[in-house]
Structure 1
């Protein structure tokens, strides 16, 4: 599933063997999304997850979008 224009704090759902993984979008590079998640290696961390593993994205419904929520370019 291609993703363009992800925004800070979008909920991202990834496929992995035996289940899935959920985290919050914080950035990306050419190959991976940078995702904030809990219980990643028993800690809250930002990790890189291959774009090919993306299953779905959910964007929060804001009544007023915070100033720091920007779409990636």
Structure 2
């Protein structure tokens, strides 16, 4: 693991209000704002961007990363 590794390996580093992406293989499956984190269960709840639908994200089933900031050209 390098210092530029974008993936979250520890849910204690995730907090409500942060924007998260959940990836399965090479596909983005969920993106939204964290509403709750249950470290002891290894899950988090995200409000989906666009729909606002809450989603339960099991951290072991996805690769998680903070949403990168949009770049201006």
RMSD: 2.4
Structure 1 stretches (4+) deviating beyond 2 angstroms? none
User: For residue 36 of structure 1, what is the aligned residue in structure 2?
Assistant: 47
SS in structure 1 at match of 2:32: strand
Q: How many residues of Structure 1 are paired with residues of Structure 2 in the alignment?
A: 56
TM-score normalized with structure 2 length: 0.57
State the 1:49 CA deviation: 0.7
Structure 1: runs of 5 or more not aligned: 61-73
Which structure: greater helix fraction? 2
| Structure showing greater relative contact order (alpha-carbon pairs closer than 8 Å, 6 or more residues apart) | 1
Structure 2: runs of 5 or more not aligned: 1-8
